[in-house]
Amino acid sequence: MPTVLITGAARGLGLDFTKQYAARGWKVLACSRSADGLKGIKGDIHHHALEVTDYKAVKALAAKLKGEAIDVLICNAGVGGSRGSTAQNLGAFEAEEWRRIFEVNALAPLMMAEAFADHVARSQQKKLVAISSIMGSVEKNGGGRYFYRASKTALNMEWSCLALDLAAKGIICLALHPGWVQTDMGGPTATLTIAESVPGMVKVIDGLKPSDNGRFLQYDGSELPW
Ligand SMILES: NC(=O)c1ccc[n+]([C@@H]2O[C@H](COP(=O)([O-])OP(=O)(O)OC[C@H]3O[C@@H](n4cnc5c(N)ncnc54)[C@H](OP(=O)(O)O)[C@@H]3O)[C@@H](O)[C@H]2O)c1
């Protein structure tokens, strides 16, 4: 069976990715800071403790897993910014919050991609997926949430670069928007349930072909503008 590695695998969208792939019999390398959310899930699940901004730990995990072929790597871990905080509002910007959001959403996925590119390259499917957001789209910009939006724009550019640089290895790089989903981040008024979003994203990932390298898609497979 194929192997998937997921960051932020024990909560929200990441937890459902874990459940979906485990239910299909895949080997799941479930990376998360705590394993609590994974309790009771059946399947070939291997938990690896990982704070994604601990780059020594990212490299150590890549070395520990050096024999693995990772068919699908999903950089899912992300932060939206503290709820109710004004730190991302023009007039009240807080530099520390910018650094925190950029570190988790833009730097950490790039360090994961670098550390694990060879694991993905030696697999059958060779898919490198960033869970991005429509909020990173320059063309669809609705204003506000400066730090979160900009971090996802940076992530998109990184994936666009990776698509060029890793094409020779046969890796398919995809930036994927889950929709607005009812998780801790999306909140209860989001338009989609996890059960609507994650199976859609899994279907999109399943269907990726080499010609999809460097695309920005959403959970239903439709194209998004950069
Ligand atoms: N929900 C939406 O509407 C929506 C829309 C567009 C994009 N997204 C993107 O989808 C992804 C998942 O979001 P979600 O909705 O599932 O949010 P969530 O419920 O808040 O979950 C966030 C996940 O990221 C993990 N995480 C955050 N910082 C981390 C760190 N430093 N190291 C390791 N793990 C870390 C969390 O782990 P802990 O449990 O350890 O905190 C958790 O698993 C994010 O990249 C988000 O930007 C979500």
Atom of ligand 1 nearest to the CA of 181: 3
State whether the beta carbon of 194 lies less than 6 angstroms from ligand 1.
no
Range of the domain at 8: 3-218
Residue 70 contacts residue 116 (beta carbons within 8 Å): yes
Instruction: Evaluate if residue 199 carries a pLDDT over 90.
Output: yes
**Cα of 76 from ligand 1 centre, angstroms:** 6
Count of CB atoms situated within 10 Å of the CB of 113: 23
Atom of ligand 1 nearest to the CA of 185: 20
pLDDT tens digits, 35-48: 999 999 999 999 99
pTM value > 0.75 = yes
pLDDT tens digits, 55-112: 999 999 999 999 999 999 999 999 999 888 999 999 999 999 999 999 999 999 999 9
| Summary mean pLDDT of the chain | 98
pLDDT tens digits, 130-166: 999 999 999 999 999 999 999 999 999 999 999 999 9
Whether residue 223 is contained in a domain is answered as no
What are the CA-CA distances from residue 179 to residues 15, 48, 163, 198 (Å)?
16, 27, 22, 9
Whether residue 121 is contained in a domain is answered as yes
Whether residue 20 is contained in a domain is answered as yes
Give ∠ CA 114-57-37 in degrees, rounded to 5: 105
Q: State the Cα–Cα distance between residues 23 and 44, nearest whole angstrom.
A: 9
State whether the beta carbon of 104 lies less than 6 angstroms from ligand 1.
yes
Domain count within the chain = 1
Q: What average pLDDT does the segment 16-30 reach?
A: 98
**What is the per-residue pLDDT for 206?**
98
Q: State the Cα–Cα distance between residues 187 and 199, nearest whole angstrom.
A: 19
Mean pLDDT is lowest, of 80-84, 126-130, 183-187, for 80-84
Whether residue 107 is contained in a domain is answered as yes
**Cα of 69 from ligand 1 centre, angstroms:** 25
**What is the per-residue pLDDT for 82?**
86
> DSSP H helical segments within 33-182, as ranges?
55-64, 95-102, 108-121, 146-165
Whether residue 225 is contained in a domain is answered as no
Sequence letter at residue 216: F
Whether residue 183 is contained in a domain is answered as yes
Whether residue 194 is contained in a domain is answered as yes
Whether residue 49 is contained in a domain is answered as yes
**What is the per-residue pLDDT for 6?**
99
Q: State the Cα–Cα distance between residues 160 and 40, nearest whole angstrom.
A: 37
**What is the per-residue pLDDT for 84?**
87
CATH label of the domain that carries residue 93: 3.40.50.720
State whether the beta carbon of 197 lies less than 6 angstroms from ligand 1.
no
Confidence of residue 174 (pLDDT cuts 50, 70, 90): very high
